[in-house]
Amino acid sequence: MHRYHTLGKIPRKRHIAFRDDNGKIYHEELKGNKGFDGPSSLIYHIYRPTAVVGTKLIREVKLEEDPDRSLRMRHFFTSKLNKGGSPVLDRTPIMFNNDVTLWMAFPTKEDEFYYRNAQGDEIIYVSDGEGVLETAFGEILYSQGDYLIIPRGIMHRYRFTKGEQHFFITEGKGETRTPSRYRNDYGQLIERSPYSERDFRVPENLITIDKQEPTSVMVKQRDQLTEVMLDHHPFDVVGWDGYYYPYAFSIHDFEPIVGRVHEPPPVHQTFQGDNFVVCSFCPRPYDFGEDSIPAPYNHSNVMSDEVIYYAKSEFMSRKGVEYGSITLHPDGITHGPHPGKYEASIGMKETNELAVMVDTFYPLLVAKAALDIEDPNYSKSWLEGNFDNTLGE
């Protein structure tokens, strides 16, 4: 996160003896990425964060690809996936490459263990549901439309408070950040960016748990899940400060940029990862110039594969998609609005669409697990006349 935050109590200087009322030294921990040069926070624990009772390999996380690698447009109905289970252990992979994995999860069961992804940052798009993200840095309340950004290494757990939980998850190996073009030399978001610091929700309500009893932490590293048993509760933090912590941003706080004629997709960019971007398509007034066509023009992806998660059934350029649909438009094939969509968009004043787009700079593979929910007719759905027959519209 690009701004300093602190909760609880911290010493006047870093790396000095910081003691409780009985004179016992708190255990300082630096958590961050990129060695000692990336964003980091200093955390003060009651117990040694290194006190591990034992570790146990739970399982490997193997991503199996669709053996049919032929280049084509793809469409998946995630609403047909089996629901239930854990928000961490029961995710279904949809697509992946070396930089990013896209998952869906419909958890119904809260985990007893805490989870730490040590090999990637996670962006949880909360498509439905309400709850609390519990972390050692404090709590973040979440609801429909939130992106929860959980940098690698940060231990957390979900508590569900209301409704079905629908998560579209982007797990990236690089650091998730706001695009550098939205920030000035000081890291502050500039006036032209589609959001400001006030739109980002940081952890609050630091709860310090002083309990010396074995506590399970599920760690993802080396493409496997390992249970690490600590001899104490990991939320033993009395205070912390820095730039490295989880945060939330609601898609409903993204301020759309519109123009007299169609604006290109980068105006929707919300986050940047290594070799991928995340964009938000939000309700907005349409382009207002004379004869302007609000629907996008056809385009060949510029060195990227395009994935769209439809967070509402409405989308200005597509037919046949529903809430929860995911489409893949790969580099190498031109894509654009479905027949009739740009004609129909002329003169329209606004859209209520809501969608999350992930563009990856290297090709994506489709996961085998997604084949059962695939729409087999999608690749031909731009043919005039054929469309109505194949998708029933």
**146 or 306: CB nearest Fe ion:** 306
Q: How far is the CB of 101 from Fe ion (least distance, A)?
A: 21
* Contact yes or no for 135/246 (Cβ under 8 A): yes
**122 or 306: CB nearest Fe ion:** 306
Q: How far is the CB of 112 from Fe ion (least distance, A)?
A: 42
Instruction: Provide the 8-state DSSP code for 163.
Output: E
Q: How far is the CB of 167 from Fe ion (least distance, A)?
A: 24
Give the phi and the psi of residue 349 in degrees, each rounded to 5.
Answer: -95, -30
DSSP 185-215: TTSPBPTTSS--GGGEE--B--------S-E
* Contact yes or no for 273/120 (Cβ under 8 A): no
Q: How far is the CB of 299 from Fe ion (least distance, A)?
A: 6
**135 or 351: CB nearest Fe ion:** 351
Q: How far is the CB of 306 from Fe ion (least distance, A)?
A: 5
Element (H, E) at 371: none
What are the start-end ranges of the H helices in the chain? 341-345, 386-391
**28 or 306: CB nearest Fe ion:** 306
**171 or 306: CB nearest Fe ion:** 306
Residues within the interface to Fe ion (CB under 5 A) = 306
Nearest by Cα to 200 from 4, 40, 360, 357:
4
Q: How far is the CB of 301 from Fe ion (least distance, A)?
A: 6
Give the nearest residue (CB) to Fe ion: 306
Q: How far is the CB of 354 from Fe ion (least distance, A)?
A: 17
**305 or 306: CB nearest Fe ion:** 306
* Contact yes or no for 323/104 (Cβ under 8 A): no
Q: How far is the CB of 381 from Fe ion (least distance, A)?
A: 15
Q: How far is the CB of 328 from Fe ion (least distance, A)?
A: 11
* Contact yes or no for 360/303 (Cβ under 8 A): no
Distance, in Å, from the CA atom of 282 to the CA atom of 354, rounded to the nearest integer, reads 5
Single-letter amino acid, residue 143: S
Q: How far is the CB of 290 from Fe ion (least distance, A)?
A: 25
Torsion 301-302-307-309 (CA) sign: negative
Nearest by Cα to 271 from 171, 350, 365:
171
Q: How far is the CB of 300 from Fe ion (least distance, A)?
A: 9
Range list of β-strands (E), 136-182: 138-142, 146-150, 156-172
Burial (0-12, 13-18, 19+ Cβ within 10 Å), 147:
buried
**121 or 306: CB nearest Fe ion:** 306
**236 or 306: CB nearest Fe ion:** 306
**46 or 355: CB nearest Fe ion:** 355
- Give the alpha-carbon dihedral of 81, 87, 88, 93, to 10 degrees: 20
Distance, in Å, from the CA atom of 246 to the CA atom of 334, rounded to the nearest integer, reads 37
State both tokens at 251: 């898609």
Place of tokens 């790396």: 15
**47 or 382: CB nearest Fe ion:** 382
Distance, in Å, from the CA atom of 39 to the CA atom of 32, rounded to the nearest integer, reads 6
| 76-323-318 Cα angle (round to 5) | 75
**301 or 390: CB nearest Fe ion:** 301
